[in-house]
Amino acid sequence: MDDCAKSKAEVAAERLAEIDPATRAKGIKMMIPMPGHRITDLDECRKGIMLSHQLIKGSDAIFLLTDSRESRWLPALLGALENKLVMTAALGFDSYVVMRHGIRGSQDRLGCYFCQDSASPIDTISGRTLDQQCTVSRPGLSMIASAIAVELMVSILQHPLKGLAPVSSAKSPMEPIPKEGSLLGVIPHQIRGFLGHFRELHLVGEASNCCCACSDNVLSSLQDSMVETIMSYLADENALNRSSGAARHEIGQEEGSHEDFCLL
């Protein structure tokens, strides 16, 4: 069968086997339900949620390499629910971000991909051209970002605290590796690269109490009926914002009240 007739997941699994025959890889073609997108098949949506949960629960590390912001929400949410090591790599035309999501159990928990923009994701695909969807990028960008994501994960796994490893950095490559780092070097939180300037920035962001993916408010709402609650959030972004506390934050800004502000 020609590769053009196969899914990306299936082709990726085959390529991994070619590179390292000892690798056990399986490509799974599936739908990831997304906020802001109309649900046309309720049963298919439920299956997508349950399969996503099954795969994430059975994994030690998760890489989020999907093409849009909203497609990262469900895996980020489930990764936080199961307290897994989650890595995100997102691309623009000539820029990228690679980051690790914070894990519960740390006093100063790091933010996830959604913590700096806590509101529910919306549809960023419909009515946009390919270049507006950030699916057009410079030739080397995806390889650079994916390689950095793998190296970041390996550095985390070499630290005694694994996913709870504190952020470490060095101002110059000539500096010795700080004691907070791992055997392989520093462990940043976010790495943002810019090919237009061939530069890289290391940033740190705290977890948000109003995050739509990892806040305690949202995660605790999943305890009784996870699938149906998630489906209600997919169907109504306002429901997710109310649950996370982002809606209260917006009301407080409009009315000038400080009582409902969330700590961001």
What is the C-alpha to C-alpha distance for residues 226 and 152, in angstroms, rounded to an integer? 31
Is 134 among the residues known to form the active site? Answer: yes
Residue type for 64, please?
A: L
What is the C-alpha to C-alpha distance for residues 216 and 166, in angstroms, rounded to an integer? 21
Nearest to 65 by CA among 124, 159, 141: 141
H helix runs in 121-171, sequence order: 141-157
Q: Which residues contact 255 (CB under 8 A, 6 or more apart)?
A: none
Q: How is residue 42 written in tokens?
A: 């309720």
Q: 192: burial class by Cβ within 10 Å (0-12, 13-18, 19+)?
A: middle
User: Per the residue annotation, which of 45, 115, 134, 212 is the catalytic one?
Assistant: 134
Q: Which active-site residues does the annotation give?
A: 134
